[in-house]
Amino acid sequence: MEIAIVKEIAAHGKETRPILLPREVKRLAEEGHRVFVEKGLGKRIYIPDKEYESHGARLTASRRELFRKDIVVKLKPPLAEEFKLLKNNLLFCMLHAEQNPQFVRMLANAKAKAIAMELVVNSAGERLVTCCEMAGEQGMIMAFHMSKKAPADCNVLQLGYGSVATGSLKVAFSLGARVKILRKGQYRFIRRFLRNRDIVVNAICWPKEKRDDKEYLVTRDMLRLLNKGAIILDLSVDYPSPIETCHPTLIDRPAYEIDGVTHISIFGYPGLAPISSSARYSRQVLPLLLRIASASLERLPLHLKKALIDPQYYV
């Protein structure tokens, strides 16, 4: 197979992470695949082109050439102009097609298919390409950094308890913050628990039907219950969110203020630690990519077939 690893140019140029590092590229080359790497792929995390080249990659500056290879691998969804470069091939990336149906239409126009990394799960439903705990850690670190109080003086309300929440709680507890984890059965008492909080962390996976109906757990009028200078840290980045005033942000502009409350809702928190998250993603993606490249789509294992986005059948 000819496999292209391309640079990320979304998020106003602030996405610095390559989806594969030289060590994993070497494994692909050793398996007999021809790997093409876009020049400057790892420059922003201090990986020179020659390191990729020495690990078996072929360097190219032609994006058109790269997007026509058998398999195109990247972290984030392509931009509209990148979708137009695809042709009868396979895209492997974080696609989020359910939230972005236009991606499926653009795949159809290119007569291409995709395997969505976020849909590749094991038999227990756990994602195989993820930096969820790191997302929680980095978000909590940013929240404390932007707070006007030391962590030990902060009253934190944590909504939800999953893999993302685990990271934020680890940081909060280790720095001595006072933390209340709100259970689902306590949601109806939300006003009581919001009072006198310095940081509210949303780590709830908000059901699609509630998002569609714009049903909120925390409404704008509830912001007045928080302490002055409070922060809302939205780790789930669903939209609409269970918090009425939350909307997604990007790393270059991570926060905004409403009614005196700072909101942080970054789409891609692991990007705050690009070296660490690149290494983790690269290790996770390699075995999946080896399976994808070694068989036809019809013979893929079930966990990869379930992540296949074929515009012809996708609803």
145 lies in some domain: yes
Residues 108 and 223 in one domain: no
Is the predicted pLDDT of residue 209 greater than 90, yes or no? no
pLDDT band for position 10 (cuts 50, 70, 90)? low
pLDDT in tens, 67-96: 999 999 999 999 999 999 999 999 999 998
- SS3 string, the chain, reads CEEEECCCCCHHHCCCCCCCCHHHHHHHHHCCCEEEEECCCCHHHCCCHHHHHHCCCEEECCHHHHCCCCEEECCCCCCHHHHCCCCCCEEEECCCCCCCHHHHHHHHHCCCEEEEHHHCECCCCCECCCCHHHHHHHHHHHHHHHCCCCHHHCEEEEECCCHHHHHHHHHHHHCCCEEEEECHHHHHHHHHHHCCCCEEEECCCCCHHHHHCCCCCECHHHHHHCCCCCEEEECCCCCCCCECCCCCEECCECEEEECCEEEECECCHHHHCHHHHHHHHHHHHHHHHHHHHCCCHHHCCHHHHCCEECCCCCC
Is the predicted pLDDT of residue 140 greater than 60, yes or no? yes
126 lies in some domain: no
- Per-residue model confidence (pLDDT) at position 96: 87
- Per-residue model confidence (pLDDT) at position 120: 97
- In this prediction, residues 108-122 reach a mean pLDDT of 96
Residues 143 and 214 in one domain: yes
- In this prediction, residues 239-268 reach a mean pLDDT of 92
- Per-residue model confidence (pLDDT) at position 98: 82
pLDDT averaged over every residue in the chain? 94
Is the predicted pLDDT of residue 206 greater than 90, yes or no? no
Residues 138 and 263 in one domain: yes
280 lies in some domain: yes
pLDDT in tens, 29-77: 999 999 999 999 999 899 999 999 999 999 999 999 999 999 999 999 9
- Per-residue model confidence (pLDDT) at position 13: 52
Residues 172 and 221 in one domain: yes
- Per-residue model confidence (pLDDT) at position 207: 78
Residues 158 and 175 in one domain: yes
- Per-residue model confidence (pLDDT) at position 40: 95
pLDDT in tens, 260-301: 999 999 988 999 999 999 999 999 999 999 999 998 999 999
Read off the pTM: 0.91
pLDDT band for position 127 (cuts 50, 70, 90)? very high
Name the residue range of residue 185's domain. Answer: 132-272
314 lies in some domain: no
Residues 158 and 111 in one domain: no
295 lies in some domain: yes
Give the chain's domain count: 2
pLDDT band for position 210 (cuts 50, 70, 90)? confident
Is the predicted pLDDT of residue 14 greater than 80, yes or no? no
Tell me which amino acid residue 24 is. Answer: E
- Per-residue model confidence (pLDDT) at position 306: 95
pLDDT band for position 252 (cuts 50, 70, 90)? confident
- CATH number, position 19: 3.40.50.720
Residues 304 and 289 in one domain: yes
